[in-house]
Amino acid sequence: MQQNTITEQMTQAGQKIEHDSFAIVDQEVGKHDYTDAQWNIVRRMIHATADFEFNGLVQFHPNAVSAGLQAISQGANIVADVEMICVGLSKPRLGHFGVKTHHFISDTDVITAAKAVNSTRAVQAMRKAQQLSLLDSGIVAVGNAPTALLEVVRMIQEEGVRPALIVGMPVGFVSAAESKEEVALLHEIPWIITQGRKGGSTLVVAAIHALLALAEQAQK
């Protein structure tokens, strides 16, 4: 496995543990239908959760990996539905590419707008991101709020919003699976999703970290 200097563990001991973990996943996973680049993403997601069901649950738009790598190499904005994603992403790894993260779920104006029209904060947060011109050519990262994902789909269909990539993995029982099914119907916008109820911010972070590692390899 090619070793990266920016997007991997900072110590040799940490790197060995991470690489050994990946090797165990490779040994135990069995068959899969992913490309090498896609498998790098899925493997890191399995590594983050110890859940082999993501072999098959993770689905990719045909252009997802290439679109994600291009966006990262160009220093794209990442717009997350919750702060947890922004906190989980490594600042040195993001900084290497000039990538910045944004979340608005707790902003006072977002909360006020949500109350005024009886919508969710997640919907209003994505609308604010669009007003700030952060969605076009950016990476949308959703791990918690299905309504955020559904709002992005609506804006794509009705307002012509064009993110570079959607990483859509909300977890839960109300609209989580359905929101990802809507994303999977998009043809012009690349996406990475988890099918069904499973998801979460941890998975989104793992997927983006994998993309960052692939982008560093591409630089070499």
Q: Where are the domains of the chain?
A: 56-219
Task: Please give the structure tokens belonging to residue 78.
Answer: 């990442």
For 56-219, CATH gives: 3.40.50.10230
Of 90, 28, 82, 76, the closest CA to residue 53 belongs to: 28
- For residues 139, 141, 146 and 152, what is the CA-based torsion angle, rounded to 10 degrees? -10
What integer pLDDT is reported at residue 208 of this predicted model?
98
For the annotated catalytic residues, the residue numbers are 47
DSSP 112-136: HHHHHHT--HHHHHHHHHHHTT-ST
CB 148 within 8 A of CB 154: no
> Structure pTM?
0.93
What integer pLDDT is reported at residue 17 of this predicted model?
79
The Cα–Cα gap between 186 and 142 comes to 16
Of 116, 161, 170, 182, the closest CA to residue 141 belongs to: 170
Tens of each residue's pLDDT in the chain, 220 residues: 456 767 666 677 777 877 888 888 888 898 999 999 999 999 999 999 999 999 999 999 999 999 999 999 999 999 999 999 999 999 999 999 999 999 999 999 999 999 999 999 999 999 999 999 999 999 999 999 999 999 999 999 999 999 999 999 999 999 999 999 999 999 999 999 999 999 999 999 999 999 999 999 998 7
- Alpha carbon 206 to chain centroid, angstroms: 8
The 3-state DSSP class for residue 98 equals coil
CB 67 within 8 A of CB 41: no
Cα distances from 57 to residues 51, 90, 97, 198, 202, in angstroms, run 11, 25, 29, 8, 15
